[in-house]
Structure 1
Amino acid sequence: MPLPETSPPPALPDYAELHCLSNFSFLRGASHPEELVQRAVELGYGALAVTDECAFAGSVRAHVAAKAVGLKLIHGTEIVLADGLKLVLLAQNREGYGNLSALVTLARRRAEKGAYRLTRGDLEGFGPSGALPDCLALWVPGPTANSIDRTDHAAIANTVPPANAADASNAAAIADGRWLAQRFPGRAWLAVELHAGPDDRGRLEQLQQLAADCGLPLLAAGDVHMHSRARRPLQDVLTALRLNTTVFAAGHALHPNGERHLRPRLRLARLYPPELLAETLAVAARCTFSLDELRYEYPEEVVPHGLTPAAYLRQEVEAGLVVRYPAGVPEKARAQVEYELGLIARLQYEAYFLTVYDIVRFARSREILCQGRGSAANSAVCYALGITEVDPAKSELLFERFISAERGEPPDIDVDFEHQRREEVIQYLYAKYGRERAALTGALITYRTRGALRDAGRALGFGREQIDALANTLAWWDRQDELPERLRAVGLDPESPRVAKWLAVSRALRGFPRHLSQHVGGFVISRGPLSRLVPIENAAMAERSVIQWDKDDIDALGLMKVDVLALGMLSAIRRALDMLGARDGRPVRLQDIPRESKAVYDMLCRGDSLGIFQVESRAQMAMLPRLKPRQFYDLVVQVAIVRPGPIQGDMVHPYLKRRHGEERIEKISPAVDKVLQRTYGVPIFQEQVMQLAVVAAGFTPGEADQLRRAMAAWKRKGGLEPFEQKLIRGMQERGLPESFARRIFEQIKGFGDYGFPESHAASFAILVYFSAWLKRFEPAAFLCGLLNAHPMGFYAPAQLVQDAQRHGVTVLPPDVTHSAWESLLVELLPDHPPARPRTVRLGLREIAGFNQAAAERIVAARQEGPFQSVADLAARAGLQRPELERLAAANALHALAGHRRAAAWESAAVENTGQPRHHGSRSGHDQEGEKRKGRGSAKALGRRSGASDATHATGRSKNGMDQRDKGDERGHAPALPIQGDLFSALPPPVEAPPPLPPPTEGEDLVADYATLGLTLGRHPLALLRDRLTAGRFITAAELRAAPDKKLARAAGIVTHRQRPGTASGIVFVTMEDETGPINVILRPELVEKQRRETLAARLLGVYGQLESRHGVTHLVAKRLVDLTPLLGRLATRSRDFH
């Protein structure tokens, strides 16, 4: 019996996808641009257009990926006009791209962050030759979810799209099409998007008729949201997240099937007529633009009229050299300057240097501390211009680390400014160049594991308790393959279909862009309108705007940016210097600080570096007594050596042994020895590796820089192999031992884990020394500077205050009768009672939730005379009741009202107008006074002596009333739980309030931490010491005095947790008690065994063995005990770092 005849499969048509969203259409697209490009290549597409909604944020990534695989990429954008008209706009050429970029900028800048708004008139505003010249338009007819308010979940989920949305008889649709045909003559199409729906044939016929009525040609398009059908579950989750609902409640907002992916051409041939597929290629052929065509030009304003950029740069460099070297320019510095100016001229970078120079000059004119750092500190030109502070005459600089002709990319100058005054610099740039020519670089915020689990779980309908339980058991170091184990730990079965889906979607979501934020300070400034280079949108912060590309995008295209960065330590130093100047009656400048003080180095050698820039981490504190810095260059090494690069490259121990004469320094060759002589034959810095490649292996300086770049990327991308062979062969040809060559190469590989350039370390070392000098000789002013610059650095104010007290500083609490907004030396406070030297009065800014305007009104009112009462304060300073309550809770009204309860009573009696209800006397408030203070706590801090167990356990009294402190919904410090909101039910006020018992010491302690985050009274563990001693827990001071290897127990409040990637899974925990810090080492097996205690304990008991080396003591833990219940209501927080 003959087989039945079968029709041959249709020939694979050529096709270009012209409507495709990536995940840079935030919470819409379900694939990375790179995935879309790769899939389009696999399917044999002729071209791919990435058309994210009113955005080019993913265009550079798509460009780089497409260029690597030879796929033609078209740049475009999808927009929905205010009247619901949906278009896909494609750039034909450079001019068209500029028009689209300007249009996206217009749409984004007129709307709030994350939104956009466009009208038909906006499309027509680009010249007389029709809408958006040099752009093509695809019309996607019919109502879509996009044409409804996409924040209105009900409107989307409960609206069923009409079956005949593109009905040819629809007069409005015909009018839309004709408008488009008229405005885009010969440049408009009607896009037919078929997704295997039940009426595809009918829809095709309707659209064909509509196109005929409008005079528009047809083409096929996919409305692609993902590269593969497998992303459908993720796409549904993204839709639910965008609408703030669950997948199950999203209704018709979800796509009905998984067809919005890049489909095989055979499938497309079965869906679309051949002519519609062929038309996509015709459209693609008209789009020739590539991002490689973008050209960037720096602004011209920085160059005076009549001078060329080269001449002006030369002029300013020569003037700077006179200032830097008043006795004459050293020959070495002169030769370096001439070499750099020649290379800068050859690469035409003069305008870049002059732009940065202009910014620094502005900051200095406003007395804003600033300093260049990074590889720019290798530049003698930057030193002459005052941008950096590393003297080329005293250093072995390598300019190619900064600029290289072979590198083919622009330089990058990082300049740090006082973080509290950087906004002045930013606004200067906006004022000088305008919002059309200057903007911050974007920063892409992506999903991490915890956020992906939370959002995916919420969208999939998991309960908040389940999500929180899982999220809270995750540590920042957990690997993806450990998630099933974490699920089991909270009672969820990773094998169940629902949980497995949660896990799979979360993994797919990890790394997805969530939204665009702003870079920490990278500015792009252009000669012409920046919006024609890249779209600009509003930042979340007022008065700022950002481009839609991030740092990596800028680097990929070779565009220049200026980094205007914020550095807290510069603010702290400036504040301290200003305070010393006010105290001494003369300006104090950095130049006035004596150099190379033995006392400063003595302090650093002890590891006494809390609060000091760059050397205050636990690892740096442990290294200081081992390295024992005795001169400035030692600080340069100190900054650089506690980094993953030197650690992984096995450079630390050889350096320390050779430095202290415990190991012989190997002599290799004069050229090699010269490069490594300052670091005892061990390469610590990137520049040394580059110099070794030049002098020992025959690399050119440019090739050495390429080696440096390969070092930084090899763990992610590979690519070191060609350099390995050349390096080893080159060293052998020059007579160097192969063992040395291979050791150097292994050390080079270590730099793939992050190593410092010497120039960068030197820039930071300057601030290390200045901050160390202030801590050693002016600890009170230094404390004020740190507190007033906070948040910054490694430590919370509580640890900074405790450390200052250990260094002889007296710290007084906030007080409305004396305090300013900021913490100050008492000598600077008018009418302050006499105090011993080195005394600081905390500022009102330390009170949680208290605002600066209210503090300034208090200070202004105080100048008219002392306050007589709380009511007088409220009236004269115009304080509202919430402001008084915060002051009372922080005990800042003590001088006017007595203890906290009395202050809370009087604050509650004041009307919001600032007028009191009654003029109560404070007599009786303090009658029991301090005699109650020593009672401390009963069984836990903050618990009243004699309180019932039921009250302590539940926080409720027998009548069911909640007795616990509660903050308001904005996170402000809680008012005391004495009065609550009962005043509305009280009878009319009496003349004098009843006597109120003062809080116990434990209750005061709880209130101190709740309002100030610290206490000036006894440390919490001092109150618990009897109980801890009974448990044989010793103090930090006793630990430091104990011998090495001793078994010991210690307990402390956890202040920091760290798990560096170079520590092989070890977790470092820092605790504190009333005598100082305690350093704890947790080995990986203990961390896994006692995970909850490791991650969650706030008061931690540690059973372990002492390890004392070089004056640094660690407690190596064997067992952990969570003692947190002893803290009661005391609120503490740790700072956890990777």
Structure 2
Amino acid sequence: MYLNVHSYFSLRYGTLSPEQLVHRAQALGIDCLALTDINTVSGVFEFVRLCRAAGIKPVVGVEVRNLGELLYVCLARSTDGFAEINRFLSDHLLTGRAFPLRAPQFQNAVVIYPLMRLDHLESLQAGEYVGVRASQVTQLWRYQKKLGTGQTVVLQPVTYADGIGFNLHKLLRCIAHNCLGSRLTEYETIATDEYLISPQQLMAAFSDRSQLLENSGKLLASCSFDFDFGAPKNRKLYTRSPADDTALLRKLAFDALPQRYGVRNLEAQRRVERELKIIEELDFTAYFLITWDIVQYAHSRGYFHVGRGSGANSIVAYCIGITDVDPIRLDLYFERFINPHRSSPPDFDLDFSWTDRDELTDYIFKKWGREHVCLMATYVTFRDRAAWRELGKVFGLPKAEIDALVLDPTNALNNPHSRLIARYAPLLEEFPNYLSVHAGGILISELPLYHYTALTMPPKGFALCQWDMYVAEEIGFAKWDILSQRGLGHIKEAVDLVRQNRQIHLDIHRIQDFVGDERIRRQLQQNETMGCFYIESPAMQQLIAKLRCADYPTLVAASSIIRPGVASSGMMDEYIRRHYNPASYVPLHPKMQELMADTYGVMIYQEDVIKVAHHFAGLTLAEADVLRRAMSGKYRSKGEFARIQEKFFTSCRERGYGEALITEVWRQIQSFGGYSFSKAHSASFAVESYQSLYLKTYFPIEFMCAVLNNFGGFYRTEFYVHEARRWGARIEAPDILQSEYNARVEGKTIWLGFVLLKGLEKKMVQQLLQQRSQQPFTDLEDFCKRVPAGLEQLIILIRAGVFRSFGLSKKELLWHAHALVNAYAQHEGVPELFELSETSWNLPSLWQDPLEDAYDEIELLGFSLCSPFELLAQPGGGSTARHLVEQVGRIVTLMGYLVTTKPLLAKNGQRMAFGYFVDREGRYFNTTHFPGSLARYPLRGGGIYQLEGKAVAEFGVVSLEVHRLERLPFKPDPRGGLGLYRYVG
């Protein structure tokens, strides 16, 4: 009888989660329930799973609407009917076409029209019904001629549970319409009777029309959804048969084995055999081959990739080129990736350059077919005070009041509206707000995707499913993560630049050579890592120095212990202490030492959680895997997690462990929450770090140019320019005859690109480059004839020094520019029919202060090409960073140009910060600003500071503990107001 039920997946409409719906239905004794969310099937699988557990028969379908207009409700009679409904939905959601007023004739699904739509239908066909609400029973006599026997059913919508839920619905509708609560019209909300009532109340409401109840029961009885959650849903074959798949993967693995391990490595051969056996048994052969195919296509296009995540635990993946992580060298466990006890399917993480990922995605869609490939969805929820902000707008609060309320919810006591927000905002916290695209997940299905989901079309242009990664795992999908990364863009472009500039062809995958290279080892030891992926941040540089990191295994560990979970638990410092002196510590328990001998008894990887949970606490491998997933933020069943937590403590007590030991081990496990890496994941990052280190060590100018062109990294462009100069590059501002859109290298010179100039239009730059490719510009007049730049754009180019090769000063060029732009404003770059003689002007001598160039650069590039210390109003003094090591324990004064800061909270909850500066010699140094110092002497943005503090050393790394500071003034801008640069003549 419950044919039209909404969950909160009816976005900004429904008010009940699937769990709440099922729980309330069970309490009311309801034995059959149909979930029909508006234009979506997002909640179907969670709903079905919960219904089965509660002993309720689930029926699935959808409510179809055009904007707010209800058209009809579709119910699936079977899984095939569900696929029909999804195909119909997708046809319209993918194209943006409105739904038809009459549903198509489904073979395995039924359609229920609301009574009010019967006026637009001549008659009902087989499989079509009319739904009647309790309030509409008295109107049935009008439609007797159109209604066939058994085609009238109860259609009592369910959207909320109680009065609070009704108010919540109205608030959601306001958010949806972006309107004030007072402006919400009645037709944009539900009727007050759309709540879940008991079967007895429903029968009483239709006591005079019992036939409708009987019809509804028969309709529900005819519907079923026998979905197999356990069966794999991925594409099953890469070739034409399982045998061919197995033979191909075996051939690929063993053909490549000698290249990775030599011809007589028996251990590697045994491990490949064992993995192939498990892969075949668990039906993942096609999964490996499809991943290999993606990588092969990328390499055929000259694209670089990194295979990471738990997939890097596999020697088969290593042999066939999916990853460059050697699992034997690092003693990685294949079972962390695939094992019979794992409770969720695995996935491969493949990183590509941000410039290449869309083409790889397009290839996957075309290779396997658009009915079988989709992007993974994720739901953006009302988290991080989003609900407070949205409700603040609904109640018409000014932005300042909303900001204050978000910052401190106790401000809710100020007025009645704020108190209402404080009451309802927490109820919305986990509600889905809108559908978005997962960072990189892609699904490739065996059956058409319509058997599992409807598809929508996000702006990216690739079809998107309607549920997230948790549902995908739950129903048997293993996803591919096709991710983009700026660090790979650095590597790819650096290799191209080396080939162009030095005619050297590089093999960037020679990882074993890189990790044994003495020059790279020294580069790592000396912390020369700026621009290198994952190891360039000040915190990572400090950690590498503290660990005296000079080899691959230590860098792998560093990549994991830098993560917040390990660091915040205090285990990072403990790891460093044990690394310095392995014999100096007493392990927490002998078993912990045995399980994590290579990390000195400290949990730093996800694998460590599995080991401890299974071998120390006695949980099953399946339970240990659930715990691992929960600790990495990939498990959302709070009930199951609570059960495993309870079992952990119970099992530990049964094994005779003391409460203090159990509590401490659990604390260390908990510290991982959402922030831990698998060892293979850390190893993959370390591989990429070594590739970057190799390029920076041997080809630093090309590498830094590539970093500039990929606009990604920890630091601002200014500091990558500074770093390139440190490594011998000659830096040139954008030039009309030499520069391209992006930076380019010629010998040891880096010509900065036009893209860095603020306010410059890309279309104009494209015209500039197109005209120059035909014939170089000879002077400003020639440029103005051929490129319709406009005065504003021309002034930007002049002030940036782009025309400096023409031999005129900026001020002379500005005088010429006004006359020339006026003369050629209408020419639009079209060559003149007759060549006219050039106009010349006799200008007085125009004085130019060299400081003007620096201020032009700061305004247009964001930084000056000279040293910022040359801009100081008064020369400062003090020590320099290279002398800090000699002054440990003493009070030191030195100047530093602020690079970046990292604010954080001290243990007492007060604000403190870490700073990173560069001194007048170009050397970097770290600072610590404790709460007392920071409160008295706050960092006030970029600039040069005079810093006074104590030089301190921790694990051999020296930094400055700042006691006081002062930001030093620059020389005044000599350009004087708007001046000649804005208006001439």
SS of 1:521's equivalent?
strand
Q: Which of 779, 792, 812 pairs up with 2:732?
A: 812
How many Å apart are 1:929 and its aligned residue?
4.1
Q: Does 1:1004 align with 2:856?
A: yes
Residue of structure 2 equivalent to 1:720: 645
Q: Which amino acid aligns with 1:311?
A: A
Paired residues of 1:23 and 1:32 also in contact (CA < 8 A): yes
Structure 1: how far apart are the matches of 2:811 and 2:49? Answer: 63
Structure 2: how far apart are the matches of 1:919 and 1:649? Answer: 77
Residue deviations 1:835-882 (CA, integer Å, cap 9, x gap): xx3x31111222345566654543443344431233423544565667
How many Å apart are 1:108 and its aligned residue?
0.5
Alignment of 1:520-669 (within 5 A): 520-542=439-461, 544-591=462-509, 594-661=514-581, 663-664=583-584
How many Å apart are 1:30 and its aligned residue?
3.6
Residue of structure 1 equivalent to 2:354: 419
Residue of structure 2 equivalent to 1:59: 44
Paired residues of 2:272 and 2:315 also in contact (CA < 8 A): yes
Paired residues of 1:1080 and 1:1116 also in contact (CA < 8 A): yes
Alignment of 1:669-680 (within 5 A): 675-680=595-600
Alignment of 1:955-970 (within 5 A): none
Residue of structure 1 equivalent to 2:982: none
Q: Which amino acid aligns with 1:570?
A: L
How many Å apart are 1:94 and its aligned residue?
0.7
Structure 2: how far apart are the matches of 1:64 and 1:1003? Answer: 64
Q: Does 1:933 align with 2:815?
A: no
Residue of structure 2 equivalent to 1:776: 697
Q: Does 1:117 align with 2:98?
A: yes
Q: Which of 131, 143, 160 pairs up with 1:210?
A: 143
Paired residues of 1:135 and 1:187 also in contact (CA < 8 A): no
How many Å apart are 1:924 and its aligned residue?
7.0
Residue of structure 2 equivalent to 1:439: 374
Residue of structure 2 equivalent to 1:513: 432
How many Å apart are 1:42 and its aligned residue?
3.8
Paired residues of 1:898 and 1:925 also in contact (CA < 8 A): no
Residue deviations 1:532-582 (CA, integer Å, cap 9, x gap): 32111112123x221112212212222121111112211111111111122
How many Å apart are 1:102 and its aligned residue?
1.0
Structure 2: how far apart are the matches of 1:849 and 1:302? Answer: 50
Q: Does 1:191 align with 2:135?
A: no
Residue deviations 1:872-918 (CA, integer Å, cap 9, x gap): 23544565667546544644344456428945646853426136999
Q: Which amino acid aligns with 2:487?
A: M
Residue of structure 2 equivalent to 1:48: 33
Residue deviations 1:747-806 (CA, integer Å, cap 9, x gap): 33433453221111111111112212333333221211111122x232221232233334
How many Å apart are 1:516 and its aligned residue?
1.6
Q: Which amino acid aligns with 1:518?
A: V
Structure 2: how far apart are the matches of 1:602 and 1:925? Answer: 57
Q: Which of 230, 247, 257 pairs up with 1:311?
A: 247
Paired residues of 1:1066 and 1:1082 also in contact (CA < 8 A): no
Paired residues of 1:190 and 1:211 also in contact (CA < 8 A): no
Residue deviations 1:176-223 (CA, integer Å, cap 9, x gap): 3544x21xx25523231x5xxxxx4xx431145336643364444443
Residue of structure 2 equivalent to 1:323: 259
Paired residues of 1:294 and 1:533 also in contact (CA < 8 A): no
SS of 1:364's equivalent?
helix
Paired residues of 1:1036 and 1:1050 also in contact (CA < 8 A): no
Residue of structure 1 equivalent to 2:979: none
Q: Does 1:845 align with 2:781?
A: no
How many Å apart are 1:1071 and its aligned residue?
5.7
Q: Which amino acid aligns with 2:62?
A: T
Q: Which of 279, 283, 286 pairs up with 2:222?
A: 286
Q: Which amino acid aligns with 2:871?
A: L
Alignment of 1:64-75 (within 5 A): 64-75=49-60
Comparing 402-411 and 219-228, the one that deviates more: 219-228
Structure 2: how far apart are the matches of 1:527 and 1:862? Answer: 52
How many Å apart are 1:407 and its aligned residue?
2.0
How many Å apart are 1:290 and its aligned residue?
5.0
Residue of structure 1 equivalent to 2:681: 760
How many Å apart are 1:253 and its aligned residue?
4.2
Residue deviations 1:203-248 (CA, integer Å, cap 9, x gap): 4311453366433644444433334421344433332333343222
How many Å apart are 1:668 and its aligned residue?
10
Alignment of 1:909-920 (within 5 A): 909=822, 910-911=824-825, 913-914=828-829
Residue deviations 1:117-136 (CA, integer Å, cap 9, x gap): 22257x43xxxxxx112222
Q: Which amino acid aligns with 2:706?
A: G
User: Would the alpha carbon gap of residues 24 and 851 (structure 1) be closer, same or farther in structure 2, given more than 3 Å must change?
Assistant: farther
Comparing 431-440 and 300-309, the one that deviates more: 300-309
How many Å apart are 1:584 and its aligned residue?
2.0
Q: Which amino acid aligns with 2:379?
A: L
Comparing 33-42 and 520-529, the one that deviates more: 33-42
Residue of structure 2 equivalent to 1:1023: 871
User: Would the alpha carbon gap of residues 41 and 700 (structure 1) be closer, same or farther in structure 2, given more than 3 Å must change?
Assistant: closer
Structure 1: how far apart are the matches of 2:232 and 2:297? Answer: 24
SS of 1:245's equivalent?
coil
How many Å apart are 1:330 and its aligned residue?
1.4
How many Å apart are 1:23 and its aligned residue?
3.1
SS of 2:669's equivalent?
helix
Paired residues of 1:400 and 1:702 also in contact (CA < 8 A): no
Paired residues of 2:92 and 2:98 also in contact (CA < 8 A): yes
Q: Does 1:33 align with 2:7?
A: no
Paired residues of 2:490 and 2:707 also in contact (CA < 8 A): yes
Residue deviations 1:943-962 (CA, integer Å, cap 9, x gap): xxxxxxxxxxxxxxxxxxxx
Q: Does 1:134 align with 2:51?
A: no
Paired residues of 1:86 and 1:141 also in contact (CA < 8 A): no
Alignment of 1:657-1056 (within 5 A): 657-661=577-581, 663-664=583-584, 675-691=595-611, 705-706=625-626, 708-709=628-629, 711-712=631-632, 717-718=641-642, 719-726=644-651, 746-790=667-711, 792-827=712-747, 837=748, 839-848=749-758, 850=760, 854-876=764-786, 884=794, 887-888=797-798, 890-896=800-806, 898-899=809-810, 902-903=813-814, 905=818, 908-909=821-822, 910-911=824-825, 913-914=828-829, 927-930=845-848, 932-934=849-851, 1000=852, 1003-1008=855-860, 1012-1019=861-868, 1023-1024=871-872, 1026=874, 1043-1044=888-889, 1046=891, 1055-1056=900-901
Structure 1: how far apart are the matches of 2:378 and 2:118? Answer: 42
How many Å apart are 1:379 and its aligned residue?
0.7
User: Would the alpha carbon gap of residues 1061 and 752 (structure 1) be closer, same or farther in structure 2, given more than 3 Å must change?
Assistant: farther
Q: Which of 946, 953, 962 pairs up with 1:1109?
A: 953
SS of 2:453's equivalent?
coil
Residue of structure 2 equivalent to 1:970: none
Paired residues of 2:613 and 2:648 also in contact (CA < 8 A): no
Residue of structure 1 equivalent to 2:980: none
User: Would the alpha carbon gap of residues 690 and 427 (structure 1) be closer, same or farther in structure 2, given more than 3 Å must change?
Assistant: same
Structure 1: how far apart are the matches of 2:275 and 2:156? Answer: 53
Paired residues of 2:898 and 2:945 also in contact (CA < 8 A): no
Alignment of 1:262-277 (within 5 A): 262-263=196-197, 268=202, 271-273=205-207, 275=210, 276=212
What is the alpha-carbon root mean square deviation over aligned residues?
A: 4.2
User: Would the alpha carbon gap of residues 886 and 1041 (structure 1) be closer, same or farther in structure 2, given more than 3 Å must change?
Assistant: farther
Q: Which TM-score applies when normalising by structure 2?
A: 0.86
Q: Which TM-score applies when normalising by structure 1?
A: 0.75
